[in-house]
C-alpha cells in the first residue's frame, strides 16, 4: 500500500463510524469517476502484465493443452 493510501486509511479511521461510511462512498465515487469500467491498471498491475508478456515472448510458459489436467 502506498504512503498516500495509508494516510487516507488512517484519516478515515479517525472519523466516527457514521462518517467512515460516507468517506468510503466518496472514495468509491472517485474511483468510478477515474475508471468507470474498471479497465485501468495500477503501476504494479502494469508491471506484472509486462513481465507476463515478456515470459510468453521468451517461451517460458507451458501451453494449456500440454498439461495433463486429469
Domain spans of the chain?
A: 3-66
Residue 62's pLDDT is 87
| CA 26 distance to own-chain centroid | 18
Residue 54's pLDDT is 95
Residue 32's pLDDT is 92
Residue 70 cell numbers, joined = 486429469
Residue 60 per-residue DSSP state: -
Give the pLDDT band (50/70/90) at residue 3: very high
Residue 13 cell numbers, joined = 479511521
Half-sphere exposure of 39 (CA within 13 A, CB side): 2
Residue 46's pLDDT is 93
Half-sphere exposure of 8 (CA within 13 A, CB side): 9
Give the pLDDT band (50/70/90) at residue 17: very high
- Prediction pTM value: 0.54
Mean pLDDT calculated for residue range 33-62: 91
Amino acid at each position: 500500500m502506498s504512503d498516500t493510501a495509508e494516510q487516507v486509511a488512517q484519516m478515515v479511521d479517525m472519523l466516527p463510524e457514521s462518517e467512515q461510511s460516507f468517506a468510503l462512498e466518496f472514495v468509491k465515487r472517485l474511483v468510478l469517476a477515474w475508471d468507470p469500467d474498471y479497465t485501468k491498471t495500477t503501476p504494479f498491475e502494469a508491471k506484472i502484465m509486462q513481465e507476463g508478456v515478456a515470459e510468453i515472448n521468451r517461451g517460458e510458459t507451458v501451453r494449456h493443452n500440454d498439461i495433463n489436467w486429469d
